């Protein structure tokens, strides 16, 4: 699997363009802005984008979904709990304060343990609630895309609607720290660095309880 990490948008989201090197099939994870840059990378590498995957539906991570779907005809993928949560008017209204567009409705709903096939590569869906109710991480050994669940030296916020520190720590311990120690984590923001490993975070991340 080829991984292209881009920092995009006004909130410096780590967006990933992941692709099968044999087939050129690709997926975009968390397009949080700068859609033209994302599209240019895809065009330069002659990629066929099949999926736009949301690790979670906060507007800073999905504000590029509409334009990218229009330009690529890719399917938007989201956890079922996330879609149900963010369709609530009070939740939608709360996050509208960010001034960023929310995602169109997802085309594909996933749950824990599902797989997303991209050419000859496969992503395993890990449901990791805590930052949001339907947050997910995406695992393709030796890589894991952790969204705002786990950062380098940090974890996601839980003070937004739908957040739970108890759930977040449970998710990290049961779904992420059980992965091989050499697993490379690719976070949703580069606050502490652009990537790390499960072993390093288990050893030194002060926010993992």
Contact partners, residue 158, CB within 8 Å, separation at least 6: 130, 131, 164, 165, 168
Q: Which pLDDT value is given to residue 71? A: 97
By C-alpha distance, which of 108, 152, 103 is closest to 132?
103
69-108 pLDDT, tens digit per residue, is 999 999 999 999 999 999 999 998 998 888 898 899 999 9
pLDDT of residue 63: 96
Q: Can you tell me the distance from the alpha carbon of 184 to that of 193, in angstroms, rounded to the nearest whole number?
A: 12
- Per-residue tens of pLDDT for the chain, all 209 residues: 999 999 999 999 999 999 999 999 999 999 999 999 999 999 999 999 999 999 999 999 999 999 999 999 999 999 999 999 999 999 989 988 888 988 999 999 999 999 999 999 999 999 999 999 999 999 999 999 999 999 999 999 999 999 999 999 999 999 999 999 999 999 999 999 999 999 999 999 999 97
Distance CA(179)–CA(128), nearest Å, equals 13
What is the spatial distance between Cα 37 and Cα 16, in angstroms, rounded to a whole number? Answer: 12
- Residue 58 phi, psi dihedral angles, 5° rounding: -60, 140
Kindly list the domain boundaries of the chain, sorted by start residue. 2-204
Strands 75-79 and 48-53: parallel
Q: How many CB atoms lie within 10 A of CB 111?
A: 12
Q: Which CATH superfamily is domain 2-204 in?
A: Ribonuclease Z/Hydroxyacylglutathione hydrolase-like (3.60.15.10)
Are 155 and 206 in contact by the 8 Å Cβ rule? The answer is: no
Give me the residues paired with residue 118 across strands: 121
The pLDDT tens digits of the residues spanning 105-117 come to 999 999 999 999 9
């Amino acid at each position: 699997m080829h991984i292209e990490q881009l920092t995009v948008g006004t909130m410096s989201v780590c967006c990933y363009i992941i692709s099968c090197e044999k087939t050129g099939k690709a997926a975009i994870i968390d397009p949080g802005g700068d859609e033209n840059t994302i599209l240019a990378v895809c065009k330069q590498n002659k990629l066929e984008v099949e999926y736009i995957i949301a690790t979670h539906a906060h507007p800073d991570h999905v504000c590029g979904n509409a334009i990218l779907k229009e330009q690529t005809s890719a399917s938007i993928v989201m956890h079922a709990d996330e879609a149900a949560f963010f369709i609530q008017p009070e939740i939608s209204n709360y996050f509208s304060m960010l001034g960023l567009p929310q995602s169109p409705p997802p085309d594909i709903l996933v749950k824990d343990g599902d797989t997303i096939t991209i050419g000859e590569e496969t992503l395993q869906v890990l449901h990791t609630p805590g930052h949001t109710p339907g947050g997910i991480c995406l695992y393709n050994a030796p890589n894991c895309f952790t969204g705002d669940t786990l950062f380098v030296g940090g974890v996601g916020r839980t003070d937004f609607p739908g957040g739970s520190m108890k759930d977040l720590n449970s998710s990290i311990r049961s779904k992420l720290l059980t992965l091989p120690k050499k697993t490379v984590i690719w976070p949703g923001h580069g606050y502490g660095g652009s990537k790390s490993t499960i072993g390093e975070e288990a050893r030194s991340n002060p926010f993992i309880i």
